Amino acid sequence: MSDKGKVIKRLGGIRCPRCNKEIDFFNFSAKVEHFGLWDDINSWETRDYGDWSNLKLACPHCDKVLFTNEDKALKFLQGEG
């Protein structure tokens, strides 16, 4: 089972290894491909969000990319990594 969508209990004291500021979330960027329909009245309907690729999770203070893997990033925020 995936941890996606679960509420994370914030432990506090989680710090960026680069700037040493406390963090409880990441800024992210990713390439996301959407699949859907577009019709003649400019209506968009997404059918599938496809895969996310090139995921980058960065410190919100110094912008250093810390993770490219969602599971590892989640463990870090939970104090397990």
Residue 1 counted as domain residue: no
- The pLDDT of residue 5 is 42
pTM over 0.75: no
Biggest distance spanned by C-alpha atoms of the chain: 53
- The pLDDT of residue 29 is 92
Residue 19 counted as domain residue: no
List residues bridging with 29 in a β-sheet: 56
Mean pLDDT by 10 residues, the chain (81 residues): 43 86 94 81 74 89 96 92 67
**What's the number of domains the chain is made of?**
1
- The pLDDT of residue 1 is 37
Residue 20 counted as domain residue: no
Residue 34 counted as domain residue: yes
Residue 43 counted as domain residue: yes
Phi/psi at 50 (5° precision): 65, -165
Give me the domain span that covers residue 44: 27-77
Cβ atoms of residues 14 and 79 within 8 Å: yes
Per-residue buried b or exposed e for 26-63, using 16+ beta carbons within 10 Å of the residue's own CB: beeeeeeeeeeeeeeeeeeeeeeeeeeeebebbbeeee
